[in-house]
Every structure is written in C-alpha cells, then in structure tokens.
C-alpha cells in the first residue's frame, strides 16, 4: 500500500502546475460526484453502511480519478494516471483467487455490489474467515444477510445406482424372488410303519423306509426345498388333463421306462430312431449340470426335446404352431397310450375349435440343477420356463438388510462351499511345482486324491514323472509302499476309464490325475483331497473341482498349486468371488522338501531321457 501511495505522489509531482481546461472540467465533475455521494450516504444505504474509511475513500477517489483521466485527451494527465498502483486494484491483486464456493457466496451478494455505489461493500470490519484464508488476505464480505436473495441450489450429481440395483437389473423376477436355503438346513425323515404321506417332506412311508435302508436319514438342504415342492400334493405328481381334474394317469397306456438317464446326444438319437419313443408322457425333465448342458448347442438338443414334450399339430389342426422347432416325426401309438394334451391328434376325435378353447400345456415339469447355475437371462429364457421357482443353497450373511441384498451374492455368482471343506494354496516356482505335489503326498498325507491338470497331455506327463519319482524314492530308502497314481483322461477308451475308476474306488489306485473331464458330477465318497495342480481357469471350474471332496457332510481338503506368476490372477479371482479369506496360504521351505529332492531330480532326469527318445 505504501508503495502505491508513494508512486502516486511522485507521479503527481511531475504534473504541470497551471490548470488546463480539461483539468478544470475534471475537477468540477469530481466535486459534483463527491457531493452526490455524501448526500446518498447520509440518506442511509440499503446495505447499512455508515462509514467509509479514509483510506478506502481515498482509494475510491483515486480509482475514479484514474478512470476519468484515462478517458481524457491530455497527454500530461496521462502521465499522472498510474492504473496499476491504485489502492483498490492493489487490494484486488493481493486477494487469493476465490474458489468456487466463495464465488457463489460473492455472487449471492453480487447483484447488490454491482448496483450503484450505496450498496457497494465498503466495510473493512473483520469477517469470519474460512480455514484456508488468513485474516490478512480475507476479502471483505457484504454485510447483506445471505437471505437477501434466494440462493440457487448447488448442482449435485445424482447418486450412482447401487451394486445391488445394477446386478438385479434385467433379471427374471422369479430369480430375484428366489428361495434362499441355508446349507445347514436338514429335515429328518420319519421312521414309520404305515404308508401315509409324510406331511413335511411329501414322501410316502414306504419311500422313507427305503431311503433309511440306503443310509439316508434326513434330507439335505437342497432336498428340503425341492422334494416337498414336487411331492406336496398328488395333483402335482399326476399327469394332468387339460379339461378334467387330475387323477387319471396315462389312461391305460403305460411306459416301459420310468426313469431315463442319458446324455443329450443319446436322447436325440432315441427321438429320431427308436420306434414308439415319445416324450408325450414325460412328467419331469431333469437337467443336471444345467449350466454346462445349456451351453451345448449339440443338434439344438434342448429345443428338440422341449418340442417333443409339446403336442404337435394335428393334420386337421390349423392353429399356429407355438414353437418354431418342430418335434421329431410323431408316431401314433395306440389311442390308449396318448397323453391328455395329445388326444386331439386322434383322427376319431375331431378337433372342434371353440371360443372357449383352452391352451393345452404339456404336463412336463423341468428341473435344473447345478452348483454354478447360470444367471444369464437369455439362457434361462431359452427353456421357456413356466412360473419358475428358484431355490438357492447359500449361507446368509449377517446384517443383510434386504431380500435383494440377500440374493445379490448368488446373482453375482458368489457360490457357497460346504462348511466341511478346508482350502489351501501354495505359491511356488514353476520349476519345483511337481516337487510340491510330492511333498503334499508324502508329508501332508494327500492320498485318496483327485489331481486336476490343465490338459490330457499335462496329465500324461505328470503321471510319468510321478511313477519315476516313486521308483526313485523307494529305491533310495526301500521303505514303505509306493503311492499309485494313474491318469484318467479323454485319451483312454471308455472301458479303460471304467476300470480305472473301479480301481480308484477300491483304493488300489491312490491318486487319480485328470483334466476337468471329471470335475463335475463324479461322486466317490472316499476322495478326501482335491489338488488343482494347474490353477483353474475360472471360479466356476474351481467350485466344481473342490466339490469332488467334502461331500455329504464329510471333511475334505482342497489344495491349489499356484505358480508365482499366476498368484496375482488367482488371488484376484478368489477376491472377486469374495472367497480369498477362505483359502489358507501354505508356505513350504527348502528344508521341508530337502529329503525329497534327490528322488525328484532323478525322476526329472529319467523323464528327460524318455522324452528325448521320443516318449
């Protein structure tokens, strides 16, 4: 400030003493302006400013003076004009650039400050400063109450949709309303001598006794939901007739097969090639490992099977076909053997169309099962499900606020593992991965095990190395019996596979090394360990592999050997599935594996030799 005043003074000193015409005009105008201002401030301003400090008044005068002078045409006056050094401008310069919030504040009062001078903020009385402002740089604020003008609301981004909302968008309503069953849920089967239907399970006394003979004393979680649903009433069991109450089943015709278990390809073969093979009476279509089968487009099998359960169009039936897929050629069996929904096909019973015509539905009920059932709405839509009911076995988290949040986990494909399963991972260098497997087998008791590799070729190689290792180890200490490992792969003929599986079941084979060929469905009760020798490519594969152990309430261990460069990927896969904390990390030191190293090196040398000779 002192600098500013000094320079103004020195500039004025340079001005000529005699008053020019322009100067006189200017001084007159200045006088009038001062007079006018005094009158206005006396009458009381709208903002209540009573006094203007001397220095500020001076600044104001100087500022006005500069403005007028700059407009003047007198060269000498131009010399007097020192625009940068006016106190008002100096004050502006020293102020920090206001942030947006401040801008809005000043804007609120801005309309007033831009109005004629009486409302102009002139007070220098201390104002509360923001934490970022030092009192020295604090800008004088308008004393006008902020409510003088209504403030516009601050612009606000709309809240992003929650994870739950996003995940549930576009999903089938029935899926959102799924019934969630805790995995620990069981339902004891009654032991009764009479045959009446058990109210809770829907099972007959006879069936309960039979199950008990087979060692089944209770229903497991998924069964507690599915069995009563299917058997709740005799009506649900029967093959209903479209126009009559249910009761009659098959009208005299009878199937020679009650339960047909087959692959999709075999079923299509029967539909096309087996005389009198018909699905018109099919009451239940069970698709196990449904997510895998639904991705198989083999001969459009699903559309063909579904079409075979629906009544085909009769020759004299002009109603439009409901499906674009025609059922395989329909061979007309004996009239007695026709299912109710197919009766209109009889030539002796003419079809008469009426206004009250009812849509004839096949009585087939579809049941889909999978540990990792697809949530893909498009794939589910392909099944043409009628009033579907979803049942999910899933541990409920504590503090789950809403039903939607509860189903979120399964919609997001976070699968539940058996509580009796213990999971481990072992991160190692690629070069010692086989050694780590041998360590698990010989030091951690990992036998009665399924070992999963990434390919049939990898399986063959590992089995060979295993055999060489066992020979080398046995030769070295000549103690204990050798561990027997065998390959179970798609390279084997079906008969060979069957025989190997039998030997494994009889525990003549201790370790079965395989690709993902048997990662689903296989049920061998004594499998107490599953080793993922090669990391599974996705979490679904992991779920199916580890699911080969810890079955039906038994304990089991799952081990994953992770090469160092794969560790990041594997961990992020587990993390995404909310499963990282379930997998314990096992650290194996050089000392731990030292006793096995000589045999390992000998086995590697042998394998190299064999492959050098061409396998």
Q: For residues 159-178, which are near ligand ATP according to CB under 6 A?
A: none
Give the residue with the Cβ less far from ligand ATP, 219 or 513.
219
To which residue do tokens 């099998």 refer?
Answer: 301
Q: With respect to ligand ATP, which residue has the nearer C-beta, 393 or 462?
A: 393
Pair 525, 461: CB distance under 8 Å: no
The β-bridge relationship of strands 218-219 and 187-188 is antiparallel
Q: In Å, what is the CA distance from 339 to each residue of 73, 279, 285, 310, 365?
A: 111, 10, 16, 10, 15
SS3 call for 234: helix
Query: What value, to the nearest 5°, has the Cα angle with vertex 105 and ends 100 and 108?
Result: 125
Beta carbon nearer to ligand ATP, 45 or 422: 422
Nearer to ligand ATP by C-beta: 371 or 580? 371
Binding status of residue 196 toward ligand ATP by CB under 6 A: no
Q: How far is the CB of 545 from ligand ATP (least distance, A)?
A: 10
220 binds ligand ATP (CB under 6 A): yes
Tokens found for residue 492 = 């084997």
Cβ atoms of 43 and 111 within 8 Å: the answer is no
Q: How far is the CB of 205 from ligand ATP (least distance, A)?
A: 17
The one among 521, 564, 578, 601 contacting ligand ATP by CB under 6 A: 521
Rounded distance between C-alpha atoms, residue 86 and residue 68, angstroms: 13
Residue 214 Cβ vs ligand ATP, minimum distance, rounded to whole Å? 8
Read off the tokens for 407: 């189903």
Reduced to 3 states (helix: H, G, I; strand: E, B; else coil), residue 282 is coil
From residue 476 to residue 515, the character string flagging contacts with ligand ATP as x (rule: CB under 6 A) and all else as - is ----------------------------------------
3-state DSSP assignment of residue 200: coil
Question: Does 411 contact ligand ATP by CB under 6 A?
Answer: no
Q: Under the criterion CB under 6 A, does residue 551 sit at the interface with ligand ATP?
A: yes
Least separation, in Å, of the C-beta of 186 and ligand ATP? 8
Using CB under 6 A, which of 40, 151, 382, 552 touches ligand ATP?
552
- CB 371 → ligand ATP: shortest distance, Å? 5
Residue at token pair 């200045």: 30
- Least distance to ligand ATP, CB of residue 514, Å: 15
Non-local (6+) Cβ contacts of 195 within 8 A are: 204, 205, 206
Does 188 participate in binding ligand ATP (rule CB under 6 A)?
no
Token reading at 118: 């009486």
In the list 104, 138, 148, 216, the residue contacting ligand ATP (rule: CB under 6 A) is: 216
CA distances 446 to 148, 183, 508, 510, Å, are 80, 27, 15, 9
In the chain the first and final C-alpha atoms are separated, in Å, by: 94
Could you tell me which stretch among 3-11, 118-126, 377-385, 544-552 binds ligand ATP (CB under 6 A)?
Answer: 544-552
Q: How far is the CB of 218 from ligand ATP (least distance, A)?
A: 6
> SS in 3 state form for 442-459?
HHCCCCCEEEECCCHHHH
Of 547, 558, 573, 599, the one binding ligand ATP by CB under 6 A: 547
How many residues of this chain bind ligand ATP (CB under 6 A)?
A: 12
Q: Which stretch binds ligand ATP (CB under 6 A): 46-54, 133-141, 212-220, 472-480?
A: 212-220
Residue choice 358, 523, 581, 590 for contact with ligand ATP (CB under 6 A): 523
Residue 33 CB coordination number (10 Å)? 14
Please report which helix (H) or strand (E) contains residue 365, including its range. Answer: strand 365-368
**CA 585 – CA 564 distance, rounded (Å):** 13
Question: Among 45, 185, 223, 503, which residue interacts with ligand ATP (rule: CB under 6 A)?
Answer: 223
Instruction: Select from 167, 219, 294, 583 the one that contacts ligand ATP (CB under 6 A).
Output: 219
Which residue minimizes CB distance to ligand ATP? 552
Query: Which residue, among 410, 444, 379, 423, has the nearest Cα to 549 in the 3D structure?
Result: 423
Among 148, 371, 391, 567, binds ligand ATP (CB under 6 A): 371
Q: Of the two residues 219 and 472, which places its CB atom closer to ligand ATP in the complex?
A: 219
CA distance linking residue 10 with residue 319, whole number of Å = 107
Q: How many Cβ atoms are within 10 Å of 604's Cβ, its own excluded? A: 17
Q: In this chain, which stretch among 33-41, 72-80, 453-461, 518-526 interacts with ligand ATP, using CB under 6 A?
A: 518-526
Given the rule CB under 6 A, which residues bind ligand ATP? 216, 218-220, 223, 371, 521, 523, 525, 547, 551-552
């Amino acid at each position: 400030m002192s600098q500013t005043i000094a320079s103004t003074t020195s500039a004025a000193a340079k001005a000529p003493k005699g008053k020019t015409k322009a100067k006189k005009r200017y001084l007159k105008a200045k006088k009038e302006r001062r007079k006018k201002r005094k009158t206005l401030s006396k009458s009381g301003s709208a903002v209540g400013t009573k006094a203007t400090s001397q220095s500020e008044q001076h600044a104001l005068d100087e500022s006005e003076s500069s403005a007028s002078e700059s407009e003047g045409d007198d060269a000498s006056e131009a010399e007097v004009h020192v625009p940068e050094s006016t106190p008002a401008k100096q004050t502006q310069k020293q102020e920090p650039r206001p942030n947006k919030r401040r801008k809005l504040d000043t804007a609120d009062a801005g309309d007033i400050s831009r109005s004629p001078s009486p409302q102009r903020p002139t007070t220098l009385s201390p104002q509360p400063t923001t934490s970022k402002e030092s009192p020295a740089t604090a800008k004088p604020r308008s004393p006008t109450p902020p409510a003088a003008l209504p403030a516009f609301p601050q612009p606000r981004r709309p809240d992003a949709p929650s994870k739950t909302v996003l995940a549930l968008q576009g999903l089938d309503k029935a899926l959102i309303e799924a019934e969630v069953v805790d995995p620990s849920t069981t339902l004891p089967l009654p032991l009764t001598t009479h045959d009446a239907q058990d109210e809770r399970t829907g099972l007959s006394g006879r069936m309960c006794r039979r199950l008990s003979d087979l060692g089944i004393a209770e229903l497991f979680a998924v069964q507690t939901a599915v069995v009563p649903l299917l058997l709740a009433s005799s009506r649900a069991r029967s093959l209903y007739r479209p126009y009559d109450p249910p009761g009659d089943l098959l009208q005299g015709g009878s199937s020679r097969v009650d339960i047909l278990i087959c692959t999709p390809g075999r079923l299509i073969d029967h539909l096309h090639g087996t005389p009198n093979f018909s699905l018109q009476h099919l009451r239940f279509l069970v698709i196990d490992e449904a997510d895998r089968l639904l991705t198989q487009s083999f001969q459009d099998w699903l559309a063909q099977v579904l079409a075979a359960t629906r009544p085909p169009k009769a020759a004299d039936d002009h109603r439009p076909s409901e499906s674009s897929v025609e059922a395989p050629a329909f061979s007309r069996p004996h009239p007695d053997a026709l299912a109710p929904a197919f009766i209109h096909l009889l030539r002796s019973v003419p079809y008469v169309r009426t206004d009250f015509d009812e849509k004839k539905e096949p009585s087939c009920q579809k049941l889909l099962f999978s540990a990792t059932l697809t949530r893909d709405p498009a794939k589910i839509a392909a099944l043409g499900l009628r009033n579907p009911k979803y049942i999910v076995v899933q541990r409920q988290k504590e503090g789950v606020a809403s039903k939607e949040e509860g189903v979120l986990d399964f919609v997001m494909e976070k699968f539940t593992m058996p509580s009796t399963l213990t999971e481990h991972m072992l991160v190692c260098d690629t070069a010692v991965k086989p050694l780590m497997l041998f360590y698990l087998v010989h030091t951690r008791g990992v036998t009665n095990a399924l070992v999963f590799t990434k390919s049939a070729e990898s399986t063959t190689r590992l089995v060979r190395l295993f055999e060489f290792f066992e020979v080398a180890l046995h030769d070295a200490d000549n103690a204990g019996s050798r561990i027997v490992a065998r390959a179970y792969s798609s390279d084997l003929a079906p008969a060979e596979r069957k025989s190997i599986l039998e030997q494994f079941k009889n525990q003549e084979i201790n370790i079965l090394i395989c690709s993902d060929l048997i990662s689903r469905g296989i049920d061998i009760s004594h499998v107490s360990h599953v080793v993922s020798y090669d990391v599974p490519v996705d979490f679904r594969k992991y779920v199916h592999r580890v699911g080969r152990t810890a079955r039906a309430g038994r304990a089991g261990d799952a081990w994953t050997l992770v090469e160092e460069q794969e560790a990041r990927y594997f961990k992020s896969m587990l993390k995404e599935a909310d499963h990282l904390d379930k997998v314990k990390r096992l650290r194996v030191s050089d000392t731990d594996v030292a006793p096995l190293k000589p045999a390992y090196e000998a086995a590697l040398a042998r394998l190299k030799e064999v492959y050098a000779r061409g396998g």
